[in-house]
């Protein structure tokens, strides 16, 4: 059996020499404030949302893509009941190489030796089943992005001689940005990769697990809901469940958190198929709710031991855990653990004061915007020979129609950017104040740039003065514009509880990654191992950990940390054992509508 993956094998190079494997793709974390990324993502979001509302391809797939009612992992390939089963759950992956590959390396290793916060060590095994819980690529779905950001890191990680896991994938909103075309091609056409084996034919699925456990994966599309055909599918699955069976439900989004952020103003009989599925079809059978979309770890538990867990740490940028506050939820659910802690999350928000260092291309954009706001004014003052006072600059701005138009665009743009979760009044106030802050900064920079250019360049050379004024305005806007944006995001999140996504996507933090390892034992207990990685390696080199070459962390990066348990393992009760009567080659209760991966009929 292979040696367990510990700090010695993930954070330092392997033993011995090996041929250098193919180089990693070198994809860095997505820079969400890069103007090109903003434009591309915004356009794809608009198109996919508009078209998705009119043409839901899930209805067509339900007819065109037949799929077994469930995939049977309660029995092995010979049809014998399994004593236990290990699974891994990874969500929100396919971003930067460092973060995605670090998680993939831990997930695909045959064994993980994990320490919990109390210092106890727990031996775990790589899952025979791997579930991607949503958003398998960033910023938008395409064949090239999936290949570079998702497939290659997992293929590079699976160099231990172990059998590739059976992969089942839940689509998230980013997977839907190309209409789910690339997702279906990669995960729903039976294509095999060096990193996994796929079986599903639709974007949703059901897995029958040992000892009366089931795992269901839904497709919530862009409307945060399931369609009627999907509800009917899971109604048929529910009919195959016994009275004592338990369900692990995987949704792309944590509704129990979003309902607090954006509470429903009212319910109609057409709303919320997902609520109907959870409350009426599955009901109390759901013992564990799993979701991603928020890129951190947070766990809620009620008195009955039911779990609601966000585990969106598969590779995407970190989201804050200190907001929104969700200490308690309906149904008696109480917050038990966060990773990172609220205190750490709040401190990290201050990094936005260095916004331009994290987002230099946004600085270039703001330099251009500030130059457009003030260059014409500076040139006008240079041409007329008017004194470069703050009052003269303000008077020129109020008389210049081009500057006024540009100022209106800036204010309206930042009003549209403002977070509306605290109501219209906050959006209006925050957006307008933020916009005017940039206008005041541009006005002061125009005054300073025109005055400084007059001192640096001979007064008779107006062209050189104009060029100098423009360059100074661009430089000032490059530094001041992003700093004001960072200050706005810092205050919005830490004071008003707004812009959690924008305030952390700006930082593109690759650390604080997580995934879930699950084990169903012969007693019917489900044990959850929440695995966290505080800091991912930033440098890699060729090495050997077991038998074959792979990329391992360079020892020069001494700050990298190994996988560890975020909290002690969570045990979710025992269930009523399913029937053990065996039919021809497999259990009788799995004969109808079942698919056994690896069996002769698969």
Q: How much is the CA Rg of the chain, to the nearest whole Å? A: 27
Those residues whose C-beta lies under 8 Å from the C-beta of residue 329, and which sit 6 or more positions away, are 256, 257, 260, 300, 308
Strands (E) in 322-368, as ranges, are 328-329, 333-339
Q: Is the pLDDT of residue 466 over 60?
A: yes
Q: What is the phi/psi pair of residue 72, to 5°?
A: -95, 105
Out of 14-18, 122-126, 339-343, 427-431, pick the least confident: 14-18
Q: What are phi and psi of 580, to 5 degrees?
A: -110, 5
- Are the CB atoms for 389 and 447 separated by under 8 Å? yes
Q: Which domains does the chain have, with CATH numbers?
A: 7-22+38-340+512-595 (3.60.21.10), 351-504 (no CATH)
Query: Residue with structure tokens 């810092």?
Result: 490
Q: What is the pLDDT of residue 494?
A: 96
Nearest to 439 by CA among 478, 469, 397: 397
pLDDT > 90 fraction of the chain, expressed in percent and rounded: 58
Q: Is residue 307 helix, strand or coil?
A: strand
| Higher pLDDT, residue 243 or 555 | 243
pTM to 2 decimal places = 0.88
pLDDT tens digits along 338-370 = 999 999 999 999 999 999 999 999 999 999 999
pLDDT, position 508: 96
Q: Report which of residues 73 and 586 the model is more confident about.
A: 73
How many whole angstroms separate alpha carbon 403 and alpha carbon 318? 38
**CA 68, 72, 76, 78: dihedral to nearest 10 degrees?**
-40
Strand partners, 332: none
Tokens of 233: 């599918």
Helix and strand numbers (H, E) in the chain are 18, 22
Q: Are 578 and 245 in contact (CB under 8 A)?
A: yes
**pLDDT (mean) for 394-422:** 90
Q: What is the pLDDT of residue 43?
A: 83
Give the end-to-end CA distance of the chain in Å, rounded to a whole number. 28
The band of 580, judged by pLDDT with boundaries at 50, 70 and 90, is very low
Of the spans 87-91, 136-140, 141-145, which averages the highest pLDDT? Answer: 87-91
Confidence of residue 158 (pLDDT cuts 50, 70, 90): confident
Reply yes or no: is the peptide bond before residue 139 cis, omega within 30 of 0. yes
Q: How far apart are CA 167 and CA 50, in angstroms?
A: 30
Q: Is 283 left (phi over 0), alpha (psi -120 to 50) or beta?
A: left
pLDDT at 4: 42
pLDDT at 469 over 70: yes
Query: Does 80 score more than 70 pLDDT?
Result: yes
Q: Which of 97-111, 195-209, 490-504, 545-559 has the lowest mean pLDDT?
A: 545-559
176 vs 196: CA distance, rounded Å: 22
pLDDT tens-digit profile of 27-44? Answer: 799 999 999 998 888 887
Report which of 598, 592, 530, 515 is spatially closest to residue 82, judged by C-alpha positions: 598
Q: According to DSSP H, which parts of 459-531 are helical?
A: 462-494, 500-505
Task: Give the CA-trace dihedral at 107, 111, 115, 116, to 10 degrees.
Answer: 60
Sequence-distant (≥ 6) Cβ neighbours of residue 527 within 8 angstroms: 518, 519, 521, 569, 570, 571, 572
- Which 3 state secondary structure label does DSSP give 267? coil
pLDDT digits (tens, 9 = 90+) for 277-291: 988 899 999 999 999
Alpha-carbon distance 110 to 441, whole Å? Answer: 56
Structure tokens at 348: 């990290």
Nearest Cα to Cα of residue 212 among 235, 242, 237, 233: 242
pLDDT in tens, 532-578: 999 999 888 876 554 455 677 777 788 999 999 999 999 997 544 44
C-alpha 253/C-alpha 280 separation (Å) is 19
> Would the pLDDT of 486 be above 90?
yes
Give the separation between CA 32 and CA 40, rounded to whole angstroms: 10
Does the pLDDT value for residue 457 go beyond 60? yes
Are 180 and 57 in contact by the 8 Å Cβ rule? The answer is yes
The dihedral of CA 102, 104, 107, 111: what is its sign?
A: negative
What's the chain's average pLDDT?
85
Between 200 and 454, where is the model more confident? Answer: 200
E-only strand ranges, 197-253:
197-198, 205-208, 213-217, 246-251
Tokens at 459, concatenated? 């007064």
Residue 346 to residue 495: CA distance in whole angstroms: 10
CA–CA separation, 342 and 102 (whole Å) = 24
């Amino acid at each position: 059996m292979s040696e367990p993956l510990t700090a010695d094998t993930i954070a330092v190079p392997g033993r011995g020499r090996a041929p250098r494997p193919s180089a990693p793709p070198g994809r860095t974390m997505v820079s969400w404030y890069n103007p090109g990324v903003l434009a591309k993502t915004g356009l794809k979001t608009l198109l996919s949302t508009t078209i998705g509302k009119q043409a839901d391809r899930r209805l067509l797939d339900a007819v065109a893509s037949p799929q077994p009612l469930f995939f049977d992992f309660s029995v092995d390939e010979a049809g014998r009941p399994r004593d236990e089963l290990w699974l891994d759950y990874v969500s929100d992956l396919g971003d930067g190489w460092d973060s995605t590959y670090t998680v993939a390396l831990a997930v695909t290793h045959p064994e993980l030796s994990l320490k919990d916060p109390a210092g106890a060590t727990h031996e775990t095994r790589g899952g025979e089943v791997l579930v991607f819980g949503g958003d398998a690529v960033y910023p938008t779905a395409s064949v090239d992005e999936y290949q570079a950001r998702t497939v290659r890191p997992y293929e590079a990680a699976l160099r231990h001689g172990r059998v590739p896991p059976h992969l089942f994938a839940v689509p998230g909103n980013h997977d839907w940005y190309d209409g789910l075309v690339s997702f279906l091609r990669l995960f729903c056409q039976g294509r095999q990769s060096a990193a996994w084996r796929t079986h599903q034919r639709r974007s949703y699925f059901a897995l029958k697990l040992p000892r009366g456990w089931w795992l269901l994966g839904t497709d919530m599309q862009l409307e945060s809901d399931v369609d009627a055909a999907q509800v009917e599918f899971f109604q048929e699955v529910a009919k195959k469940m016994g009275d004592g069976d338990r369900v692990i439900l995987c949704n792309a989004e944590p509704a129990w958190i979003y309902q607090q952020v954006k509470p429903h103003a009212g319910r109609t009989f057409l709303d919320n198929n997902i609520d109907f599925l959870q409350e009426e079809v599955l009901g109390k059978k759901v013992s564990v709710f799993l979701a991603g979309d928020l890129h951190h770890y947070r766990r809620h538990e009620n008195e009955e031991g039911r779990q609601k867990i966000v585990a969106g740490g598969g590779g995407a940028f970190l989201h804050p855990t200190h907001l929104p506050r969700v200490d308690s939820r309906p149904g008696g659910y109480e917050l038990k653990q966060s990773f990172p802690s609220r205190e750490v999350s709040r401190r990290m928000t201050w990094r936005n004061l260095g916004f331009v260092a994290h987002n230099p291309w946004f600085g270039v954009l703001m330099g251009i915007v500030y130059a457009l706001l003030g260059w014409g004014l500076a040139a006008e003052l240079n041409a007329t020979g008017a004194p470069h006072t703050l009052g003269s600059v303000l008077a020129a701005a109020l008389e210049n129609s081009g500057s006024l138009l540009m100022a209106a665009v800036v204010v309206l743009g930042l009003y549209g950017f403002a977070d509306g979760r605290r109501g219209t009044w906050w959006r209006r106030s925050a957006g307008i104040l933020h916009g005017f802050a940039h206008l005041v900064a541009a006005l002061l920079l125009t005054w300073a740039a025109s005055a400084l250019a007059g001192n640096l360049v001979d007064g008779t050379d107006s062209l050189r003065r104009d060029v100098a004024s423009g360059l100074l305005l661009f430089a000032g806007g490059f530094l001041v514009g992003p700093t004001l944006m960072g200050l706005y995001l810092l205050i919005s999140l830490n004071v008003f509880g707004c812009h959690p996504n924008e305030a952390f996507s700006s930082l593109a933090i690759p650390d604080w990654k997580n995934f879930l390892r699950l084990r169903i034992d012969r007693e019917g207990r489900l044990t959850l191992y929440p695995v966290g990685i505080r800091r991912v390696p930033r440098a890699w080199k060729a090495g050997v950990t077991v038998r074959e070459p792979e990329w391992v962390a360079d020892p020069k990066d001494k700050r990298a940390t190994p996988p560890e348990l975020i909290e002690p393992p969570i045990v979710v009760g025992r269930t009523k054992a399913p029937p053990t009567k065996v039919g021809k080659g497999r259990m009788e209760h799995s004969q109808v509508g079942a698919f056994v991966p690896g069996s002769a009929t698969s």
